[in-house]
Amino acid sequence: MIKQDYLLRMIQEIISLIANAILNKKKIRQQEWVEYDCLSRQILGFPTVQLMNMDLQELIEQYEGDPDRMGKIELAAMTMLKLSEDIESEHLLQKSKLRQDGLYLLKYVQKEGNTFSVQRVSLIKLLEMNG
């Protein structure tokens, strides 16, 4: 139980960091991102760059039965959004795909999860407005 609570707090901390950066158009310091990226890799169970080519249904099914399922899916979504922010503009197709996939997963968590997040709602609205 303690391990699960700690894991949930870590997921929420990373999600909050990325959401605040996106909502406030701020950059995450490289050192901070490296630390959170390592934690994300451990929590998700694979390198975060693998998210760039992952099938969304596969990702969702991967966490079936996991008690932290929605948290992990939301973390994957936020990581996709962070990666899309970092991709250079000449890779517009990949940037757009990551952004759309991240938005889809956030909406999935909002609809299917049992938690409400004002931050998540704000981010979804911001992403929808900025298309």
Full domain range(s) for residue 16 = 2-129
Per-residue pLDDT of the chain (131 residues; tens, 9 = 90+): 666 677 778 888 888 888 888 877 778 888 888 888 888 999 999 998 899 999 999 999 999 999 999 999 999 999 999 989 888 777 889 989 999 999 999 999 999 999 889 999 999 999 998 86
Q: What are phi and psi of 54, to 5 degrees?
A: -85, 140
Domain count within the chain: 1
The whole-angstrom separation of Cα 65 and Cα 88 is 36
The whole-angstrom separation of Cα 58 and Cα 40 is 18
Task: Using the structure block, give the residue that is written with the tokens 């998210």.
Answer: 51
Q: What are phi and psi of 114, to 5 degrees?
A: -110, 20
The SS3 assignment for 26 reads coil
The whole-angstrom separation of Cα 87 and Cα 97 is 11
